[in-house]
Amino acid sequence: MSLPSHVKYVVIGAGIHGLSTAYHLAAGLKAAGRGSGEDILIVDKSAIASGASGIACGVIRNNYFQPAMRELMAHSVAVWESDPKTYSYHPVGYMQISPEAMHADVAEIYEQQQAIGYESSFIEGAADCMTYMKGLFDDWQAQGITSVLHEKRGGYANNTAAMYGLASKAEAEGVRIVSGLEVKGFTYGSNSGAVTGVETDRGIIGTDYVVVGVGPWVKEIWDFLDLPNEVSIKGNDGRMHDGIPMWTYWSLQEGTLGVDPNMHRTNDGDLPPVIHVDTDAPLHSDVDGSLITDQMWGIYYKPDFNFGGVQGGAMPFKVEAEADDVAVDPYGPDSPDFVVDDSFIHMWCSALAHCQKRFEGKTPVYKNEPSGGIGAFTPDSFPVFDIFRENVYVIADSNHGFKMIGVGQLVADDILGRPSAMLEPFRFSRYAEGRLHPVSHSPFPWS
């Protein structure tokens, strides 16, 4: 396809956010009689689903300690539910299984879910939790669990199938998607800081509006836009904390046990909810009985026919290098730096066995192929959704985002002049104004 010299909206990135925004923007333009999908061009330096959205575990949940995140997730779950077939969405539910140190946090989440009408059950106390879990899986054996939050909605979606489903919806609205076209910079007007064109490796595309949905590559585009690499944050102590790096990378640890996915079903033979366990019970090796950790740890897992086994992950680790020195490319399983190693395999397989007897002795069938990938995190590890330089909408989800299919709808509404209160807690100004999200006791930076 030859490149247009001008298009009203350029969307950078064909992952969940770029595709979802383009689709909803196209539908919104048409409904308002203000244009159509033909006004929108998605450009991707690689291809649809070639970024984080194409390797994500695909878990969709509401369970967040931060009220603003829960509201956003409830909205997104409704979008997944609106077209489960096209989105390849499996509404099996989700369970947050926790130790006493997280009991109060999760109780608060449950109460808020009741308040916003998000269906869930909450089980408290070690004995009742064990009974509940054994009612689902008769081989359940994790000790030290004192609360179980069972979300009846949510579950997971097949990563690339969901992206192709979303792309087909966008294209049906007239949106064009160009693969293999890399954005290298921007041109600006002489009288304002607004972007007038997108510089690509095949020339400049003039535009009125840019949407940035580039996932782990956000720092590069952020730099092209001359946005600050350090921020000042007003802390809960009321003091300003200067010089905080804008971007930090974390390495996501995920993998697949090469078993028949059908071996992980409930006692009733149903597909189980996604299981997420956090615990402070000592974790011992399922290989030789040695102590792996006596600190808080967490894992998640689900049977997944797409990955061909029981797939899941464990806590990510922070990439200690300066953001400028982190190589995002080659990305995901192709990265020489950020794929899981033997210590993840040992820990995750042992943790599965810690939770359910059916996984004992299964470490040898772990699928030993490259997996995992990095995410770009903001200073508080929560998303930034905001407009910069007057006409550039940056969707920086801080790696929360496969589940956030609804954000594109809210962003499209915002662009069309219908701002949503759900996006307000994620504005960039929150750092300077000290409007920070509460922090939980979870071992994950995204809960």
Ligand X SMILES: Cc1cc2nc3c(=O)[nH]c(=O)nc-3n(C[C@H](O)[C@H](O)[C@H](O)COP(=O)(O)OP(=O)(O)OC[C@H]3O[C@@H](n4cnc5c(N)ncnc54)[C@H](O)[C@@H]3O)c2cc1C
Task: Tell me the C-alpha distance between 128 and 257, whole Å.
Answer: 29
Q: How far is the CB of 124 from ligand X (least distance, A)?
A: 27
Fill in the amino acid letter for 138: D
Q: Which is nearer to ligand X, 132 or 186 (CB)?
A: 186
378 touches 396 (CB < 8 A): yes
**Token pair recorded at residue 438:** 């509460």
Q: How far is the CB of 20 from ligand X (least distance, A)?
A: 8
Q: How far is the CB of 162 from ligand X (least distance, A)?
A: 10
Q: How far is the CB of 61 from ligand X (least distance, A)?
A: 8
Q: How far is the CB of 75 from ligand X (least distance, A)?
A: 14
288 touches 358 (CB < 8 A): no
Q: Which helix (H) or strand (E) holds 187?
A: strand 183-188
CA distances from 221 to 190, 191, 329 (A): 21, 22, 14
262 Cβ neighbours under 8 A, 6+ residues apart: 303
In residues, how long is the chain?
447
Q: Which is nearer to ligand X, 129 or 404 (CB)?
A: 404
Measured from the Cβ of residue 213, the count of other Cβ atoms closer than 10 Å reads 32
Q: What is 376-428 written as a DSSP string?
A: EE-TTSS-EEEEETTTEEEEE-TT--TT-TTHHHHHHHHHTT---TTTGGG-T
Q: Which is nearer to ligand X, 46 or 141 (CB)?
A: 46
Q: How far is the CB of 110 from ligand X (least distance, A)?
A: 20
Q: How far is the CB of 266 from ligand X (least distance, A)?
A: 21
Torsions phi, psi for 144 (to 5 deg): 75, 15
What b/e string do you get for 319-353 counting C-beta neighbours within 10 Å, with b at 16 or more?
Answer: beeebeebebeebbeebeebbbeeebbbbbbbbbb
Q: Which is nearer to ligand X, 123 or 315 (CB)?
A: 315
Q: How far is the CB of 68 from ligand X (least distance, A)?
A: 16
Residues at the interface with ligand X (CB under 6 A): 12-18, 43-46, 50-53, 55-59, 182-183, 213-217, 220, 252, 254, 372-373, 375, 397, 399-403
**Token pair recorded at residue 245:** 């790096």
Q: Which is nearer to ligand X, 44 or 380 (CB)?
A: 44
Q: Which is nearer to ligand X, 37 or 316 (CB)?
A: 316
Packed helices 67-82 and 100-115: angle between N→C axes, nearest 10 degrees? 60
Q: Which is nearer to ligand X, 286 or 303 (CB)?
A: 303
Q: Which is nearer to ligand X, 129 or 198 (CB)?
A: 198
Terminal CA-CA length for the chain = 42
Q: Which is nearer to ligand X, 52 or 283 (CB)?
A: 52
Q: How far is the CB of 419 from ligand X (least distance, A)?
A: 20
Q: What is 238-284 written as a DSSP string?
A: S-EEEEEES-EEEEEEEEEE-S-GGGS--TTSPPPPEEEEEE-S-EE
Measured from the Cβ of residue 112, the count of other Cβ atoms closer than 10 Å reads 18
Q: Which is nearer to ligand X, 83 or 220 (CB)?
A: 220
Q: How far is the CB of 445 from ligand X (least distance, A)?
A: 12
